[in-house]
């Protein structure tokens, strides 16, 4: 994975999303309107424009200067559609406001590079009106002849919140010259499935902005990390190459059943190349699709906890799965039932603890979302979360490992336990371990995630149940580790024996879920069954998340990825039949 194919350039450059001159949208005059006018109630008249206006048009020139410094953005009421959001007071904050944030940037070969892609907290802190935190990804700088010597910059970003798991994806642009910057024009044009914020919405605003030459962080290190990330990007080719190779009928059938209003992104990888089918929005394709980060909710469980477990099994042995929870989390000692639970039970969602029905059959996979759940969900610190969930859960009348009850709380507990495991080996926490031992070695150089909010930020604990924000390429790389028996570049990253348990197989593995589409669950992966036209019946694993987010792993180095915003669990979105049919058409899956 050390070569960027032409298709990735297609997704990032102006040839994919050009804007014809002369400009009618986002002209220099519009962006340079007096800053006093931006951020006022009148600014909420800002409208959505075609996404093409946010990227360099064909024939654009290189920027005359790079951009290095910090962009300070003011809290601003956005124009939203719907005009009034149902959830206008969440935890004392308003999701109709863009947050007050500061973003430090540098430039590398025409790329606008943020010094951090981690979560920039605003809405999750006490100050301000806005509900939102933010993540920012690399964009571009360029110049246009009608801008009177000013340079242009744009960047992709997402609004999100540190206790939630969705993203509201968009793009922003501004002008700069020397130490001067224009107002920043932003719009939100797609999103993954929301939870506390009930609406699926679009938004636009003109943000008051100022510049300071100082940066927060190490600009040189940020440039080096960006260059390494570009070098290690997952090889990508345009969708037209997939069509040419496998035919229009196969291409049309891929992810063909989900409703157009639920689509966020879809891609398929075959033999180490990713083909992106779409990144749609009401205003044209989403700019910087390959760099956008998506809130994939429970895809996080397999992408974080299970990856950490598989790596620890490789380093220290599979006994990590048998480690008793109370030996790592003494806060659970003396509370009935927790003394029976192992880390393996937690990753299998079979702790035999919870607050649901004591009837094992018919299978009811989900534990209830009751007051205990929401108290845990909103608790800001690790101590607060443990104080809620440990005493609230009661033992079920079966043993751990016998029945699945799907609990976000158990995945959080697992993450806390893993932090305490890796701290014995010199790592700060489980996220530090993942970045150093799994993500970094396979070329994932940025890994933003939601964490608890501690008085000492160094003690923040990643949530691990949801809240990881990967790119399409990141998801492809993690799936590739499963395809390659846990090995990357000749190095064994994950336990080969444990990974082989997870791979597509003829016999089922895991605990029954009672769900038609995904009848078994094993170590954070859901398993679906398919009858291949090549003569075998297969069970294949998928990382899945709320909203119909799927990363499905098929034989023959085929992975299908879909990001969506389904809210009602309807079958056209939940089914993976068309993924199965596409994989079956590409290769003999039974060979």
pLDDT at 574: 78
Of 116, 178, 113, 182, the residue nearest 141 (C-alpha): 113
pLDDT at 185: 97
CA distance 170 to 132: 13
CA distance 572 to 550: 13
CA distance 208 to 42: 13
pLDDT above 90 covers what percent of the chain? 88
CA distance 497 to 267: 28
489-512 pLDDT, tens digit per residue, is 999 999 999 999 999 999 999 999
46 pLDDT tier (thresholds 50, 70, 90): confident
> From edge to edge, which strands make up the β-sheet containing 549-554?
236-237, 273-278, 263-270, 558-564, 549-554, 537-545, 525-531, 520-522, 511-512
| pLDDT exceeds 50 at position 96 | yes
| pLDDT exceeds 60 at position 3 | no
For the chain, the structural domain boundaries read: 28-226, 233-292+471-481+527-586, 300-459
Residue ranges with strand state E in 67-193: 69-73, 76-77, 79-81, 97-98, 101-108, 111-114, 133-136, 139-143, 151-160, 168-177, 180-181, 184-191
Q: Which fold has domain 300-459?
A: Beta-lactamase (3.40.710)
| pLDDT exceeds 50 at position 55 | yes
Beta strands 151-160; 139-143: pairing state: antiparallel
pLDDT above 70 covers what percent of the chain? 94
15 pLDDT tier (thresholds 50, 70, 90): very low
CA distance 294 to 264: 9
| CB-side neighbour CA atoms (13 Å) of 9 | 7
Q: Once rounded to an integer, what is the mean pLDDT over residues 430-449?
A: 98
CA distance 131 to 529: 41
pLDDT at 575: 84
Could you identify the residue written with the tokens 């969440």? Answer: 90
pLDDT at 20: 39
207-244 pLDDT, tens digit per residue, is 999 999 999 999 999 999 999 999 999 999 999 999 99
pLDDT at 572: 72
For 94, 339, 483, the CA distances from 330, given in Å and listed in that order, are 38, 10, 37
401-436 pLDDT, tens digit per residue, is 999 999 999 999 999 999 999 999 999 999 999 999
At residue 527, what are phi and psi to the nearest 5 degrees?
-115, 130
Could you identify the residue written with the tokens 């009811």? Answer: 364
pLDDT at 88: 87
Higher pLDDT, 143 or 13: 143
Give the chain's end-to-end CA distance (angstroms, integer).
Answer: 26
447-473 pLDDT, tens digit per residue, is 999 999 999 999 999 999 999 999 999
CA distance 510 to 306: 14
Of 321, 322, 296, the residue nearest 308 (C-alpha): 321
Q: Is the dihedral of CA 577, 583, 586, 587 positive or negative?
A: negative
The shares of helix, strand and coil residues in the chain, as percent rounded to the nearest 5, are: 30, 25, 45
For 90, 174, 190, 255, 564, the CA distances from 194, given in Å and listed in that order, are 13, 29, 11, 21, 11
Cβ atoms of residues 53 and 26 within 8 Å: yes
225 CB burial (10 A radius; 0-12, 13-18, 19+): middle
| pLDDT exceeds 50 at position 528 | yes
12 pLDDT tier (thresholds 50, 70, 90): very low
Cβ atoms of residues 304 and 408 within 8 Å: no
367 pLDDT tier (thresholds 50, 70, 90): confident
Q: Where are the alpha helices (DSSP H) in 424-570?
A: 430-434, 472-483, 496-502
Tokens of 192: 């993954």
pLDDT at 364: 83
| pLDDT exceeds 80 at position 39 | no
302 CB burial (10 A radius; 0-12, 13-18, 19+): buried
| pLDDT exceeds 70 at position 319 | yes
At residue 586, what are phi and psi to the nearest 5 degrees?
-80, -40
pLDDT at 121: 98
Q: Once rounded to an integer, what is the mean pLDDT over residues 304-329?
A: 98
Tokens of 405: 């009850």
Cβ atoms of residues 562 and 550 within 8 Å: yes
| CB-side neighbour CA atoms (13 Å) of 433 | 30
Beta strands 236-237; 273-278: pairing state: parallel
pLDDT at 45: 62
Average of per-residue pLDDT values in the chain: 93
Cβ atoms of residues 171 and 154 within 8 Å: yes
| pLDDT exceeds 60 at position 158 | yes
CA distance 255 to 276: 11
| pLDDT exceeds 50 at position 269 | yes
Q: What is the pTM of this model?
A: 0.95
| pLDDT exceeds 90 at position 2 | no
34 pLDDT tier (thresholds 50, 70, 90): low
Cβ atoms of residues 137 and 117 within 8 Å: yes
At residue 412, what are phi and psi to the nearest 5 degrees?
-65, -45
| pLDDT exceeds 50 at position 561 | yes
181-194 pLDDT, tens digit per residue, is 999 999 999 999 99
In this structure, the chain runs to a length of 591
CA distance 348 to 401: 7
CA distance 267 to 537: 24
């Amino acid at each position: 994975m050390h070569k960027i194919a032409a298709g990735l350039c297609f997704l990032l450059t102006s040839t994919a999303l050009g804007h014809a001159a002369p400009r009618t949208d986002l002209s220099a005059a519009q962006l340079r309107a007096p800053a006093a006018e931006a951020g006022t109630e009148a600014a909420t008249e800002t409208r959505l424009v075609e996404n093409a206006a946010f990227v360099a048009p064909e024939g654009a020139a290189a920027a005359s200067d790079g951009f290095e410094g910090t962009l300070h953005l003011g809290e601003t009421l956005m124009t939203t559609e719907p005009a009034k959001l149902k959830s206008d007071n969440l935890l004392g904050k308003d999701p109709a406001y863009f947050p007050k944030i500061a973003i430090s940037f540098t430039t590398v070969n025409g790329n606008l590079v943020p010094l951090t892609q981690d979560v920039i907290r605003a809405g999750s802190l006490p100050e301000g009106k806005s509900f939102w935190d933010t993540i920012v990804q690399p964009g571009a700088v360029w110049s246009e002849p009608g801008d009177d010597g000013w340079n242009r910059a744009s960047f992709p970003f997402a609004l999100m919140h540190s206790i939630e798991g969705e993203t509201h994806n968009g793009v922003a642009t501004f002008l700069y010259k020397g130490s001067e910057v224009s107002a920043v024009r932003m719009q939100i044009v797609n999103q993954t499935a929301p939870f506390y914020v009930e609406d699926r919405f679009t938004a636009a605003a003109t943000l008051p902005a100022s510049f300071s030459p100082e940066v927060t962080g190490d600009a040189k290190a940020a440039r080096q990390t960006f260059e390494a990330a570009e070098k290690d990007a997952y090889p990508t080719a345009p969708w037209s190459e997939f069509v040419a190779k496998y035919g229009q009928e196969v291409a049309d059938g891929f992810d063909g059943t989900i409703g157009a209003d639920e689509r966020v992104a879809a891609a398929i990888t075959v033999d180490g190349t990713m083909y992106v089918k779409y990144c749609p929005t009401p205003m044209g394709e989403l700019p910087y699709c390959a760099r956008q980060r998506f809130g994939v909710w429970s895809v996080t469980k397999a992408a974080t906890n299970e990856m950490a477990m598989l790596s620890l099994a490789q380093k220290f042995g599979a006994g990590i799965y048998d480690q008793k929870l109370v030996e790592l989390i003494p806060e659970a000692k003396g509370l009935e039932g927790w003394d029976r639970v192992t880390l393996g039970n937690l990753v299998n969602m079979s702790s035999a603890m919870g607050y649901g029905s004591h009837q094992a059959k018919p299978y009811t996979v989900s534990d209830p979302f009751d007051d205990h759940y929401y108290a845990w969900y909103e608790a800001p610190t690790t101590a607060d979360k443990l104080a809620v969930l440990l005493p609230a859960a009661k033992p079920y009348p079966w043993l751990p490992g016998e029945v699945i009850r799907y609990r976000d709380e158990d995945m959080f507990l697992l993450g806390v336990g893993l932090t305490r495991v890796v701290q014995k080996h010199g790592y700060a926490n489980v996220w530090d371990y993942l970045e150093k031992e799994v993500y970094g070695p396979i070329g994932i150089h940025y890994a933003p995630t939601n964490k608890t909010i501690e008085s000492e930020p160094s003690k923040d604990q990643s949530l691990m149940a949801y809240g990881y924000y990967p790119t399409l390429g990141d998801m492809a790389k993690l799936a590739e580790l499963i395809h390659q028996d846990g090995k990357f570049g000749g190095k064994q990253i994950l336990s080969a024996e444990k990974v082989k348990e997870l791979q597509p197989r003829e016999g089922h593995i895991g605990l029954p879920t009672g769900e038609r589409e995904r009848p078994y669950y094993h170590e954070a992966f859901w398993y679906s069954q398919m009858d291949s036209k090549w003569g075998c019946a297969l069970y294949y694993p998928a990382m899945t998340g709320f909203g119909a987010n799927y990363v499905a792993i098929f034989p023959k180095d085929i992975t299908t990825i879909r990001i969506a915003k389904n809210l009602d669990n309807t079958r056209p979105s939940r089914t993976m039949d068309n993924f199965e049919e596409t994989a079956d058409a590409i290769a003999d899956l039974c060979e």
